[in-house]
């Protein structure tokens, strides 16, 4: 099942990854502190639990 990670608060989308257990790297400089959701932006994937939280502390 493919997945595509999005961090909407930082306007970021990863490269699509196809394999179960595969990894992707997203490198960026955060411009604000706080807790931010990330999730798979493919249809229905977030509803299936493909989401998490990123915490930024400067």
* Residue-range definition of the domain harbouring residue 52: 5-20+31-56
Domain count, the chain: 1
- pTM for the model: 0.74
Q: What is the dihedral of CA 41, 7, 39, 57, to 10 degrees?
A: 180
Tens of pLDDT, residues 2-36:
788 899 999 999 887 777 778 888 888 999 999 99
Q: What's the confidence (pLDDT) of residue 39?
A: 92
- Terminal-residue alpha carbon distance, the chain: 35
26 found inside a domain: no
Buried-exposed string 37-46: b where 16+ CB fall within 10 A, e elsewhere: ebbbbbeebe
How confident is the model over 37-48, as a mean pLDDT?
91
Q: What's the confidence (pLDDT) of residue 32?
A: 92
48 found inside a domain: yes
């Amino acid at each position: 099942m493919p997945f595509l990670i999005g961090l909407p608060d930082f306007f970021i989308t990863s490269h699509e990854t196809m394999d179960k257990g595969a990894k992707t790297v997203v490198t960026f400089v955060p411009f604000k502190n706080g807790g931010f959701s990330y999730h798979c932006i493919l249809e229905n994937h977030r509803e299936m639990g493909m989401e998490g939280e990123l915490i930024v502390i400067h």
